[in-house]
Amino acid sequence: MNDCLLLGAVAYDPKVVTIWDGFRTWFQKRGLPFDYILYTNYERQVQAQFSGHIHVAWNSPLAWLQSQRLAASFGRRAEAICMRDTDRDLTSVVITRQNSGISAIADLKGRRVAVGAPDSPQATLIPLSFLAQHGVERGRDIEVLEFDVAPGKHGDHIGGERDAVRALVRGECDAACLIDSNLLLFAQEGTIPFGSTRLIAQTPPYDHCNFTVLDNAPAALVARFQRLLLAMSYEDPEVRRLLDMEGLKRWLPGRTEGYALLSDAVERFGYLNRFLELASTQCASS
């Protein structure tokens, strides 16, 4: 198995096949034996990596934390080797309708807040944790309306955020949480009619996906993979269409300090406890 670098990715959209087929060809042309395996959800991908089925996982931020904590529980080490330029310094926002009478986070008390999928870092976990930090807690102070589109995809499918915003526009809730880039997208595509909503909060910046490897990954192949990623140029028309589909202009080295907000959120909500318990048992017995 170690003669070919195997990457895992989650099929959150049909374009994922086009993207990784394209990257596979590109890597192979440059002498890196490379193939990929698609998973239907991040939890299965994380477990597959610990079971030795894949060397590299293209992980969501939540899947990164799952891997990192699972590795720690086994006395092992996970490393984030690369990420997109667009994975750095994202923010989430909380918006309300223009005429809702809500002007600050505290005004949300007693109101209903729409979020994305329960496992979405950007549209659920981070913003709800941010609200809690500011004294507005789920269950106690606000009713949370979840839009659970594509569970297991960790919010990669933006349908949940779009549904949350639509619910806000229709008046079915008082606020909605989403990532900043989708706020712009929804405004441009007309999902948010001009002037109909107002921003009431913005989280500090955080980071998103990364390529995760475990400490037993084939070092030479991983090093070559990382070098090739960092060498990809937006000038290259063959790779540019893939970068456009994957939503980046260039790959950057991985960094992990940008996951602090999400780490705080999963701690606060005890979100990973059940997964870690189950995965520890399954991975230990496999």
Distance separating alpha carbons of residues 270 and 148, to the nearest angstrom: 19
Q: How far apart are CB 280 and other proteins at their closest, in Å?
A: 36
Q: How far apart are CB 223 and other proteins at their closest, in Å?
A: 26
Q: How far apart are CB 93 and other proteins at their closest, in Å?
A: 6
Residues 229-248 that bind other proteins (CB under 8 A): 233-235, 237-238, 240-241, 247
Among 18, 181, 191, 256, binds other proteins (CB under 8 A): 181
Given the complex with other proteins, which of 6 and 179 has the nearer CB atom? 179
169 binds other proteins, rule: CB under 8 A: no
Q: Are 120 and 179 in contact (CB under 8 A)?
A: no
Given the complex with other proteins, which of 122 and 212 has the nearer CB atom? 122
How far does Cα 78 stand from its chain's mean position? 17
Distance separating alpha carbons of residues 6 and 39, to the nearest angstrom: 13
Among 187, 252, 272, 276, binds other proteins (CB under 8 A): 187
For 186, the 3-state DSSP assignment is: helix
Number of neighbours of residue 227 by Cβ within 10 angstroms:
11
On the CB side of 278, how many CA atoms lie within 13 Å of its CA?
Answer: 10
Give me the sheet containing 34-39, strands edge to edge.
34-39, 5-10, 56-59, 210-214, 78-84, 251-253
Given the complex with other proteins, which of 67 and 197 has the nearer CB atom? 197
Q: How far apart are CB 96 and other proteins at their closest, in Å?
A: 12
Distance separating alpha carbons of residues 22 and 24, to the nearest angstrom: 5
- Tally of residues, the chain: 286
21 binds other proteins, rule: CB under 8 A: no
Tokens of 221: 């192949």
Distance separating alpha carbons of residues 212 and 8, to the nearest angstrom: 10
Given the complex with other proteins, which of 101 and 139 has the nearer CB atom? 101
Given the complex with other proteins, which of 18 and 280 has the nearer CB atom? 18
User: Beta strand 143-146 with 112-115: parallel, antiparallel or unpaired?
Assistant: parallel
What phi and psi values does residue 37 have, to the nearest 5 degrees? -130, 135
Q: How far apart are CB 100 and other proteins at their closest, in Å?
A: 15
188 binds other proteins, rule: CB under 8 A: yes
The 122-161 contact track toward other proteins, x by CB under 8 A, reads ----------------------------------------
199 binds other proteins, rule: CB under 8 A: yes
Q: How far apart are CB 33 and other proteins at their closest, in Å?
A: 25
For 112, the 3-state DSSP assignment is: strand
What phi and psi values does residue 172 have, to the nearest 5 degrees? -85, -5
Q: How far apart are CB 122 and other proteins at their closest, in Å?
A: 12
With CA atoms as reference, report the closest residue to 5 among 164, 259, 227, 181. 227
The 78-117 contact track toward other proteins, x by CB under 8 A, reads -------xx-xxxx-x------------------------
The residue ranges that bind other proteins (CB under 8 A) are 85-86, 88-91, 93, 179-181, 183-184, 187-188, 194, 198-199, 202, 233-235, 237-238, 240-241, 247, 249-250
